[in-house]
């Protein structure tokens, strides 16, 4: 306890002296008041971007919120305000609850596996050798493939009658004509593998950049002190990488929640409703049945959950990046 | 005081905006409304048509564009979209009251929701000046079941069906019964059975079948025979299976079940005209039980519980199966040496009721060229044009076209089967949320086919969900 108290006191002292210096050098009383023109200049510069943002993002979002409280149909008359009816339907429907649950399950499993595999790929590829540059370029290929195309290729590979996957599983003793998309467990495995194949390079790219930016001195000092590779990874590399891991995890989580193409093309939500993620449901309700109010309510519920989840993730990972918390 | 003045100002502004909006809406409603056809309407330089792709043989319709120009002196511009994109495009066009497309292709599951936006055509059909090639566009020639299921609606209550679907179509009778005509059927799809006639006619196969079952190998006419023949042909070591099922989650699984349900004497439309589900019945259980057993029998190719109509067509085309049920004519791949295809109506049990659904060409209620658009769809769906389009595999909707197909037409056996099947087909329930209803039924069919649920439990669960969906849709 004593060992940590001293540096903490020192930090507080430094912060206090910085604040004092700040007041001494640039106190509010010493500043000349800005004219209206000068105050408005930054807003003028920002106006075009803010206008586009308002038009393309904020306005549709407001409209979605508005529609979620109404029973508007895309055709056939004007709808009316229905209060929370759409939200009650969205939250109490057993299929919707199931869809939310499996969506979270998919995101959790896929993102965790991609983070682990991405880190494992980034570690050896971070060294800037010619071979690694070629390896990194090749690794990015799946990331560049359109998700719908990747899913279509996977579907052909998985065809139990003439697909390569079934053939090679047969070579390894599995039954012939195995239908991986016809069983809920194997269908989930396929969907997670496809997601990992496509998005692990994205994670690896971020983590590789992070590893390359780390200073070498702490590792060199640790080597001199006789630290093992594991100890250096555990106590130096990993803590220093936490901010990069946080960025990759948050970006991947947001992307994974938006997954649609692979589920639509590979399983269509089947077998049964076992892979019916919420995005498939919103698509069907909104763009095939055109029940705009319910689709908007589903979207809003999804947005609220994500809005709570992402800051929570950042807080948890951010706390881990604080040396005091390690 | 100041606050109350502000409030007065605000309420005046809101009232003003409301009035402006009302006037705009009324003006829009007036321009988009339906009125008596103007036989002297100015001829446009171009008519725009929104059409699908392979689902309704777009190539066949496209082949008539030069003749259309020759006939009317009008360019026919066709925009093609694949199914999902087309559905969204059609709905968004009508939602925005767009007049861009004069002619729109409509699939039967969409029609109940769209019918208020389609121009009622009985006045046009009854107007001699708009039908120079034949009185009433010769609508009496359309296959009655196809015409009534596809194009005849009561716009105020789209769930209702014309009381006599076997009567010869007549615009006056339709109008007098409180219905109207909302399009001209152009591509009639119905479930038909295709089989490898080379295998069925092979003396060795015939002899083996007789030795095994004590009867002749014939094209199955009952579902029991169908399962038996499927068992006979199944030889996984030779990469040959008896038949196919389309048990993946999608409209195709619902269609398979509908056909069987009607065969077992149930209501193949899935819901009655009061908006109540009608498939959780003893007939439904028997039909789904048969389907589940067939799917799990090993007499269908691996992957059948995630198959759709495209997958089953591929399986049959590559020689993987001896029989299949699909909506269109099929082709065998080059790898199937000496293979030939025969067609027959799907088998029956207590009754016959192959699933059918027809695309129609409709006139956009907001079009500025409605009279010419009507003449255009009337001409495109006329017997002569439909006959021409059979060269490109169009599925005709007129009786005379089927009877006129000559025996030297390479697709004559297919058309013969298609015509017979259409005459006894069973359509879909006329629901504005049919897609959601179909999805729940497809999930039940898939669960039964994979063995995840018993047919009884699957149908009970689906019926409860469909009841809730129909209630939420206002039925």
A88 in contact with B, Cβ within 8 Å: no
Q: Which CATH class is domain A93-321?
A: mainly alpha
* pLDDT band with cut points at 50, 70 and 90 for residue B207: very high
Secondary structure class of B298 (helix, strand, coil):
coil
| Whole-number pLDDT of residue B318 | 96
Contacts of B244 (CB under 8 A, 6+ apart): B300, B301, B304, B307, B312, B315, B316, B321, B323, B324, B325
Residue closest to A125 by CA, chosen among A213, A36, A204 = A204
B29 touches chain A (CB under 8 A): no
Contact A158, A178 (CB under 8 A): no
Confidence class for position A40, pLDDT limits 50, 70, 90: confident
- Give the residue from B189, B194, B190 showing the smallest Cα distance to B342: B194
Going by pLDDT thresholds of 50, 70 and 90, the confidence category of residue A148 is very high
Long-range contacts of A294-300 (CB under 8 A, 24+ apart): A294/A86, A294/A89, A294/A90, A296/A64, A296/A65, A296/A67, A296/A68, A296/A86, A297/A68, A297/A86, A297/A87, A297/A89, A297/A90, A298/A90, A298/A96, A299/A64, A299/A68, A300/A64, A300/A65, A300/A68, A300/A87
Range of A306-310, B47-51, B133-137 with top mean pLDDT: B47-51
Using 50, 70 and 90 to split pLDDT, how confident is the model at A65? very high
Q: If you measure CA to CA, which chain A residue comes closest to B434? A: A289
Residue whose C-alpha is closest to residue B246's, from B188, B331, B303: B303
Q: CA-CA distance, A278 to A275, in Å (whole number)?
A: 9
The rounded distance, in Å, linking the Cα atoms of B171 and B152 is 10
* Cα three-residue angle B209-B212-B215, rounded to 5 degrees: 60
pLDDT of residue A29: 54
pLDDT value at position A31?
66
**CA-based radius of gyration for chain A:** 26
User: How close does chain A come to B243, measured CA to CA in Å?
Assistant: 14
Stronger pLDDT, A325 or B90, i.e. the higher one: B90
Which of left, alpha, beta for B298 (phi over 0: left; psi -120 to 50: alpha)? left
Please count the helices (runs of H) and the strands (runs of E) in chain A.
16, 0
Which stretch of A187-191, A312-316, B43-47, B113-117 has the lowest confidence by average pLDDT? Answer: A312-316
How does DSSP assign A271-310, residue by residue?
STTTT--HHHHHHIIIIIS-BHHHHHHHHHHHHHHHHHHH
pLDDT at B178 over 80: yes
**Global confidence as pTM:** 0.84
Q: Which residues of A touch B315 (CB under 8 A)?
A: 161
C-alpha–C-alpha distance, residues B382 and B267, integer Å: 32
Burial of A167 (0-12, 13-18, 19+ CB in 10 A): middle
Q: Do B114 and A178 touch (CB under 8 A)?
A: no
Of A73, A269, A272, the CB nearest to B447: A272
Count Cβ atoms below 10 Å from residue B472 Cβ, excluding itself. Answer: 16
Question: Which residue of A179, A267, A272 is in closest CB contact with B452?
Answer: A272
Q: What percent of chain B has pLDDT over 90?
A: 86
Give the pair of three-digit tokens for residue B145.
Answer: 């079941």
Average pLDDT over residues B402-430: 93
Nearest CA-CA partner of B291 in B244, B255, B257: B257
> What residues does each domain of chain A span?
1-32, 93-321
* Alpha-carbon span A320 to A241, nearest angstrom: 11
Region class of B451: left (phi > 0), else alpha (psi between -120 and 50), else beta: left
Query: For residue B441, what are the contacts with CB-CB under 8 A and spacing of at least 6?
Result: B253, B254, B257, B270, B279, B462, B466
Contact criterion met (CB < 8 Å) for A291 and B433: yes
Contacts of B92 in chain A (CB under 8 A): 74
pLDDT tens-place string over residues B108-155: 999 999 999 999 999 999 999 999 888 888 999 999 999 999 999 999
A281 touches chain B (CB under 8 A): no
Nearest in space to B466 (alpha carbons), one of B248, B281, B270, B274: B270
Q: Convert B351-363 to b/e letters by CB count within 10 Å (16 or more is b).
A: ebbbbbbbbbbbb
Q: Can you tell me the mean pLDDT for B68-73?
A: 96
Query: What percent of chain B clears pLDDT 70, i.e. is strictly above it?
Result: 93
Query: Would you say residue B351 has pLDDT above 90?
Result: yes
Long-range contacts of range A262-265, CB-CB < 8 Å, 24 or more positions apart? A262/A147, A262/A150, A262/A151, A262/A154, A262/A191, A262/A194, A262/A195, A263/A191, A264/A151, A265/A148, A265/A151, A265/A152, A265/A155
Q: What per-residue confidence (pLDDT) applies to A291?
A: 86
- Smallest Cα–Cα separation from A252: which of A203, A209, A191? A203
How many CB atoms are closer than 10 A to CB A129? 10
pLDDT tier for residue B252 given thresholds of 50, 70 and 90: very high
pLDDT digit string, tens, across residues A196-207: 999 999 999 999
Which residue in the set B116, B436, B472 is minimally distant from A76, CB to CB? B116
Distance CA B297, CA B244 (A): 11
Q: What is the Cα–Cα distance from A121 to A204, expressed in whole angstroms? A: 6
pLDDT for A218-264, tens place per residue? 999 999 999 999 999 999 999 999 989 988 999 999 999 999 999 99
pLDDT given for residue A201 in this prediction: 93
* Closest to B309 (Cα-Cα) out of A277, A268, A191, A183: A268
Q: B-chain residues within 8 Å CB-CB of A74?
A: 91-92, 95
Residue of B73, B72, B75 whose CA lies nearest to B62? B75
- List, for residues B390-405, the tens digit of each pLDDT value: 999 999 999 999 999 9
What is the C-alpha separation between B165 and B170, in angstroms, rounded? 12
Mean pLDDT taken over chain B: 91
Mean pLDDT, rounded, for B374-384? 97
Looking at chain B, which residue has its C-alpha nearest residue A177?
Answer: B302
* Six-digit token string for B34: 């339906």
H or E stretch at B76: strand B75-80
CA B88 to chain centre: 17
What is d(CA B312, CA B253) in angstroms, rounded to the nearest whole number? 12
When the pLDDT of each residue in chain A is averaged and rounded to a whole number, the result is 85
Q: Do A290 and B117 touch (CB under 8 A)?
A: no
Q: What integer pLDDT is reported at residue A320 of this predicted model?
A: 58
Q: Given pLDDT bands bounded at 50, 70 and 90, which one contains residue B472?
A: confident
Q: Find the farthest-apart pair of alpha carbons in chain A and give their distance in angstroms, rounded.
A: 83
Question: Which of B95, B249, B252 to probe by mutation at the A interface, max A CB count within 10 Å?
Answer: B249
> Is a pLDDT exceeding 50 seen at residue B422?
yes
Report the pLDDT value the prediction gives residue A22, as an integer from 0 to 100: 45
Average pLDDT over residues B439-457: 96
| Percent of the residues in chain A that have a pLDDT greater than 90, as a whole number | 54
A49 token code pair: 């971007």
- B407 pLDDT tier (thresholds 50, 70, 90): confident
**Res A76: pLDDT:** 61
The reply to whether residue B236 touches residue A179, judged by beta carbons under 8 angstroms, is no
Residues 430 to 469 of B: which have CB under 8 A from any A CB? 432-433, 435-436, 439, 443, 446-447, 450, 452-453, 465
| Residue A111 clears pLDDT 60, i.e. is over it | yes
Note whether B306 contacts A272, CB cutoff 8 Å.
no
Residue A54 has pLDDT above 90, yes or no: no
pLDDT at A5 over 60: no
Confidence tier at B408 by pLDDT (50, 70, 90):
confident
In this prediction, residue A316 carries a pLDDT of: 74
Q: What value does the mean pLDDT take over residues B248-276?
A: 96
**Is pLDDT above 80 for B16?**
no
Q: Is B259 left (phi over 0), alpha (psi -120 to 50) or beta?
A: alpha
**Is the Cβ pair B113, A76 closer than 8 Å?**
yes
Average of pLDDT values for B288-295?
98
CB contacts, 8 Å: B88 with chain A: 287
Q: What is the pLDDT of residue A174?
A: 87
- Is the pLDDT score of B104 beyond 70? yes
Q: What is the mean pLDDT of residues B174-187?
A: 97
């Amino acid at each position: 306890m004593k060992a940590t108290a001293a540096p903490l006191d020192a930090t507080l002292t430094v912060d206090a002296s910085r604040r004092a210096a700040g007041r001494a050098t640039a106190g509010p009383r010493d500043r000349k008041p800005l004219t209206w023109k000068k105050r408005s200049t930054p807003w003028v510069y920002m106006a075009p971007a803010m206008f586009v943002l308002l038009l393309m993002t904020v306005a549709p979002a407001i409209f979605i919120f508005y529609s979620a409280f109404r029973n508007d149909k895309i055709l056939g008359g004007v709808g009316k305000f229905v209060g929370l009816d759409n939200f009650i339907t969205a939250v109490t429907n057993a299929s919707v609850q199931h869809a939310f649950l499996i969506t979270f399950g998919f995101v959790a499993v896929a993102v965790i596996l991609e983070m682990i595999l991405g880190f494992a790929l980034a570690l050896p590829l971070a060294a800037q050798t010619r071979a690694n540059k070629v390896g990194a370029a090749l690794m990015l290929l799946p990331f560049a493939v359109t998700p719908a195309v990747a899913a279509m290729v996977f579907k052909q590979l998985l065809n139990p009658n003439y697909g390569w996957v079934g053939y090679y599983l047969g070579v390894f003793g599995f039954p012939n004509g195995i239908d991986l998309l016809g069983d809920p467990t194997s269908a989930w495995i396929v969907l997670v593998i496809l997601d990992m194949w496509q998005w692990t390079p994205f994670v690896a790219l971020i983590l590789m950049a992070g590893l390359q930016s780390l200073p070498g001195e702490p590792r060199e000092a640790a080597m001199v002190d006789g630290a093992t590779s594991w100890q250096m990874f555990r106590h130096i590399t990993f803590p220093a990488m936490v901010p990069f891991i946080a960025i990759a995890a948050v970006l991947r989580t947001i992307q994974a929640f938006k997954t649609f193409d692979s589920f639509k093309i590979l399983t269509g939500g089947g077998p049964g409703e076992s892979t019916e993620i919420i995005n498939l449901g919103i698509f069907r309700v909104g763009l095939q049945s055109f029940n705009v109010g319910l689709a908007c309510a589903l979207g809003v519920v999804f947005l609220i959950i994500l809005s709570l989840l992402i800051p929570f993730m950042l807080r948890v990972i951010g706390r881990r990046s604080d040396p005091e918390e390690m | 005081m100041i606050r109350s003045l502000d409030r007065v100002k605000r309420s005046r502004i809101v009232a003003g905006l409301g009035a402006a909006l009302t006037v705009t809406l009324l003006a829009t409603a007036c321009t988009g409304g339906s009125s008596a056809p103007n036989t002297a309407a100015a001829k446009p330089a171009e008519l725009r048509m929104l059409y699908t792709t392979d689902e309704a043989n777009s190539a066949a319709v496209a082949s008539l564009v030069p003749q259309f120009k020759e006939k009317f002196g009008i360019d026919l511009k066709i925009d093609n979209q694949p199914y999902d994109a087309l559905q969204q495009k059609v709905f968004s066009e009508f939602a925005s009251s767009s007049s861009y497309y004069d002619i729109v292709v409509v699939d039967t599951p969409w029609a109940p929701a769209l019918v208020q936006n389609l121009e009622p055509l009985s006045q046009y059909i009854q107007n001699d000046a708009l039908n120079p090639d034949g009185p009433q566009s010769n609508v009496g020639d359309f296959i009655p079941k196809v015409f009534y299921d596809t194009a005849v609606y009561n716009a105020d209550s789209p769930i209702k069906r014309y009381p006599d679907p076997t009567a010869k179509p007549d615009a006056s009778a339709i109008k007098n019964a409180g219905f109207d005509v909302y399009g001209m059927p152009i591509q009639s799809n119905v479930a038909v059975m295709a089989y490898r006639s080379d295998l069925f006619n092979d003396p060795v196969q015939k002899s083996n079948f007789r030795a095994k079952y004590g009867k002749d190998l014939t094209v199955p006419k009952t579902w029991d025979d169908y399962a038996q023949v499927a068992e006979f042909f199944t030889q996984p070591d030779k990469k040959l299976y008896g038949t196919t099922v389309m048990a993946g989650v999608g409209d195709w699984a619902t269609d398979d079940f509908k056909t069987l349900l009607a065969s077992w004497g149930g209501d193949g439309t899935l819901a009655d005209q009061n908006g109540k589900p009608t498939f959780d019945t003893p007939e439904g259980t028997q039909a789904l039980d048969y389907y589940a057993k067939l799917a799990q029998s090993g007499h269908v190719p691996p992957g059948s519980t995630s198959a759709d109509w495209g997958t089953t067509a591929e399986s049959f085309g590559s020689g993987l199966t001896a029989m299949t049920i699909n909506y269109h004519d099929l082709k065998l791949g080059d790898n199937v040496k000496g293979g030939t295809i025969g067609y027959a109506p799907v088998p029956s049990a207590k009754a016959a009721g192959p699933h059918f659904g027809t695309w129609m060409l409709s006139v956009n209620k907001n079009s500025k060229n409605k009279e010419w658009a009507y003449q255009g769809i009337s001409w495109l769906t006329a017997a002569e044009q439909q006959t021409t389009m059979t060269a490109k595999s169009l599925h005709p909707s007129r009786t005379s076209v089927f009877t006129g197909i000559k025996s030297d037409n390479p697709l004559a056996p297919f058309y013969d089967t298609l015509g017979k099947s259409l005459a006894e087909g069973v359509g879909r329930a006329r629901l504005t949320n049919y897609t959601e209803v179909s999805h729940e039924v497809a999930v039940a069919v898939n669960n039964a086919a994979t063995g995840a649920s018993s047919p009884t439990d699957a149908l009970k669960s689906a019926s409860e969900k469909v009841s809730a969906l129909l209630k939420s849709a206002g039925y």
